Chains A and B, each alone.
Chain A
Amino acid sequence: MEINICHLYPDLLNVYGDVGNILILKHRAELRGIKVNIVNVSMGDIFDAANYDIVFFGGGQDYEQAIVSPDLIKFKKTSMEEYIESGKVFLAICGGYQLLGKYYTTPDGEKLDGLGILDIYTEGGDKRFIGNTIIHNEVFDETYVGFENHSGRTYINDLLPLGKVKVGYGNNGEDGYEGCIYKNTFCTYFHGSLLSKNPELADRILTLALNNKYNEVALTSLDDSLEIKAKEFIINRETSK
């Protein structure tokens, strides 16, 4: 088996260690004998929905996000919409998450157009939401931990959240939700890297991508003892404060 991972703007949206998610997906796939190809797609490149099984879109600085916004709309919008609507797997973090929505207003008041594929929007806020975060996803009954660092307040309307906030701020510090899920698109503010301490989510993403491509794939289990200890450390420390 083989999967193709598209890394969107790795040269621009890359400051929070989010590239770790790609390294982790590759690592976990290769341990199961699955070949992984990583394709970087950036400025001026055409996005071809048919070529990829997983798309990853990471977080960046406002300066770089302002460079990315018009390029997305000019070169990638239609095909990316088709990709997401067809149920293919997409993981978007922080800046990437914001750009999938209708718009993002920076703290300086600059309004950046998003792709508008998801019915969500983001407003800049004065106070940055920074810290370790713990959420619980009720559908999967899984707990995820990560580190959030954002001034944007994202409102997800009727979409399902990635989880309910147990510790931290989440999407906007108001409604108690973090991230969102639409079809097989997963959005979150979690850095950490996200998948470093949430191996069940990493395998969910791999399984969905493989099922889309090969039908009924079951992944063998891996030794996740380090990942579980890292997660438990955060949960124990942050909930005992």
Chain B
Amino acid sequence: MKLSKLLFQGGTNFPGKIALMLDKNILKTVAANYEVILITGTNGKTTTTSMIYSIVKDSNKPVITNNTGANMYTGIVACFILNYSFKKSMEKKIAVIEVDEANLKFVTEYITPSIITITNLFRDQMDRYGEVYTTLRKILIGIAKVEATTLLLNGDESLFGNLNVKNDIVYYGFSTKVNDNKIVDINADAKFCTICKSPYEYNFITYNHLGDFYCTGCGYKRPDLTYSVDKIIDLNTSGSSVHINHKEYYINQPGTYNIYNALCAYSVAKLLGIKDATIEHSLKTVASSFGRQETLNIEGIEVKIILVKNPAGYDEAVNTINLDKSKINLSLLLNDNYADGKDISWIWDVNFERLTSLNINKIMISGIRMYDMAIRLKVAGFSSDSFLLCSDEEALLNEIKTCNGETVYILATYTAMINLRKFLHTKGYINKLW
């Protein structure tokens, strides 16, 4: 184990902070020998980064990544330092780096990536990030510093089609519908044209405000897609079978949002010249990132942990659970530490009402703001008499252990997920903490 990890239990910012005190330009030096791919956007960064990393690794190219969620500037500096070698190597290595939206501009100050990809923009922790338009502005400040970088963007995201940038842009998206929905949910984000402020129309919506949009006011529409999902074969709770550019792929992580993540990873791989067979193998076998639909076995009970941090992601998790027609248990964990977002109001934008039609045995509620979550579920239509309020991880584990064999879905905000995983690690239910 590397010293900094040992000392700081996965907090990988420390060596970066020290290094920056010694040399503020250090990123330029330590990243010099890399072809860098940056992944940013609201949702799906970690999963997409891990998919890209797996594909590049499977293609036998030398590759590094910051896969522990250290996506702030200091964490990224630390990642390059930890992988730094004083031996000069002729071969360029690839760095697949997840970067926080507001931190992109610090990284592009010192690195010109070959590709920057942006997954999507949703309302997210309004107390930290603010409005989606503000987030987009922050990202564009970072992009303006690197005009030679290729932008690989989600074409179904209407905020990305009309960018005032000099970079080459490649778009990916869906060229086929996943369901019959053409009406954008009243509570979705960015529903009004970025050019003329008219409401968008859609040929189809994939989820939230993503889809094949067009504006009847000014003619702005979804840009042409270079890489697209052109056929849906099967969607279930363990994965999806789809065609991308007329070839079949199995993505072993469920939900429409993971099809987008895989499509983004596929597109990066194509830009890097990686073979279809390698991509296919990787997407079929890539392990989920920690807390992203991670499956555990606790005393014979299947437990799935899903990280939730904003309404768009939570709704997608709800939609994925809705594919499960068997008897299930729910465990909802809500914290309000800084990394979770201190404002928990957003739970009222999540469509918990959709869960009331499922066959649910136990509802376990935990986390710092468990009473707020209980109120939300009560108003959604669940009977509060049945709520099991668990004041700590121990109480939650005891409830999970007596779940009669059915799957337990744990939906947890960031620090609730981290704390639960640490606890389960000490109990021996998780081997690898990071």
A and B assemble together: yes
Interface residues of A (CB under 8 A from B): 10-12, 14-20, 23-24, 27, 40, 43, 61-64, 67, 128, 130-132, 147, 149, 191-193, 196-197, 223, 226-227, 229-230, 233
Contact yes or no, B379 A15, CB < 8 A: no
By a CB distance below 8 angstroms, the chain B residues around A18 are 345, 348
User: Which of B186, B197, B379 interacts with A67 by CB under 8 Å?
Assistant: B197
Using Cβ atoms and an 8 Å threshold, which residues of chain B touch A23?
348, 379-380
Say yes or no: is B372 at the interface (Cβ < 8 Å to chain A): yes
Bound-state Cα–Cα, A132 to B342, Å: 8
User: At the interface with chain A, which of B2-10, B124-132, B147-155, B234-242?
Assistant: B124-132
Residues A193 and B371 in contact in the complex (CB < 8 Å), given A19-B187, A61-B133: no
| Interface residue? B374 (CB, 8 A) | yes
Give the Cβ gap from B154 to chain A, nearest Cβ, in Å.
20
A–B pairs, 13, beta carbons within 8 Å: A14-B349, A15-B123, A16-B343, A16-B346, A17-B346, A20-B379, A61-B132, A147-B342, A196-B376, A196-B379, A197-B372, A223-B384, A230-B371
Q: Which residues of A contact B346 (CB under 8 A)?
A: 16-17
Bound-state CA distance A18–B348 (Å) is 7
- Asked if B189 is at the interface (CB within 8 A of a chain A CB), the reply is yes
A10 B187 Cβ-Cβ under 8 A = yes
- Check if B375 is an interface residue, CB within 8 A of chain A: yes
- Contact at B189–A19, with CB atoms within 8 Å? no
Q: Which of A19, A61, A233 neighbours the largest number of chain B CB atoms within 10 Å of its CB?
A: A61
**Number of chain B residues whose Cβ lies closer than 8 Å to a Cβ of chain A:** 32
| Given A16-B126, A17-B346, A132-B342, A61:B186 Cβ within 8 A | no
Instruction: Report B60-100 residues with CB < 8 Å from chain A CB.
Output: none
Known A17-B348, A20-B348; contact A11-B343, beta-carbon cutoff 8 A:
no
Question: Which of A64, A132, A149, A196 contacts B126 (CB under 8 A)?
Answer: A149
Residues of A within 8 A of B347 (CB): 17
Q: Which residues of B contact A233 (CB under 8 A)?
A: 369, 371
- Return A230 CB to nearest CB of chain B, in Å: 4
Residue of B nearest to A192 (CB): B345
Given contacts A27-B379, A229-B371, contact A17 B342 (CB under 8 A): no
- Look across to chain B and name the residue whose beta carbon is closest to the beta carbon of A194: B345
Q: How many A-B residue pairs have CB under 8 A?
A: 97
Q: Give A9 Cβ to nearest chain B Cβ, in Å.
A: 10
Q: Is B434 an interface residue (CB 8 A)?
A: no
Contact status B345-A16, CB under 8 Å? yes
Cβ-defined contact, B343 with A147, below 8 A: yes
Known: A23-B379, A192-B345. A15 touches B126 (CB 8 A): yes
Contact indicator A149/B343 (Cβ below 8 Å): yes
Q: Does B378 contact A (CB under 8 A)?
A: yes
Besides the contacts A15-B131, A23-B379, A128-B130, what 12 more A-B pairs have beta carbons closer than 8 Å?
Answer: A14-B187, A14-B349, A15-B126, A23-B380, A27-B378, A130-B127, A147-B345, A197-B372, A197-B375, A230-B372, A230-B374, A233-B369
Per-residue A-contact encoding for B362-396, CB less than 8 Å = 1, 0 else: 00000001011011101110001000000000000
Q: Are B345 and A17 in contact (CB-based, < 8 A)?
A: yes
Shortest B3–chain A CB gap in Å is 35
**A193 lies within 8 A of B131 (CB):** no
The 8 Å CB contact of A20, one of B127, B186, B376, is B376
Whose C-beta in chain B lies nearest to the C-beta of A223?
B384
Contact B187 A226 (CB under 8 A): no
Asked whether any CB of chain A lies closer than 8 Å to the CB of B429, the reply is no
Report B-chain residues with C-beta under 8 Å of the C-beta of A131: 127, 342
C-alpha gap A40/B185 in the complex (Å): 13
**B187 surroundings in chain A (CB, below 8 A):** 10-11, 14, 19
B197: chain A residues within 8 A (beta carbon): 67
How many Å from the CB of A225 to the closest CB on chain B?
Answer: 9
Let me know if A20 and B374 touch, CB within 8 A: no
B131 touches which of A14, A63, A230 (Cβ 8 Å): A63
Distance of A130 from chain B, by nearest CB (Å): 5
Complex interface: chain B residues within 8 A of A64 (CB): 192
Q: Please report the C-alpha to C-alpha distance between residue A149 and residue B341 in the assembled complex, in whole angstroms.
A: 12
Cβ contacts under 8 Å, B344 to chain A: 147, 192
Interface members, chain B 304-360 (any A CB < 8 Å): 342-349
Roughly how many angstroms separate A64 CA and B123 CA in the complex, as a whole number?
A: 13
Please tell me if the beta carbons of A226 and B348 are within 8 angstroms of each other in the complex. no
- With both chains docked as a complex, state the minimum distance between the C-beta of B386 and any C-beta of chain A, in angstroms: 13
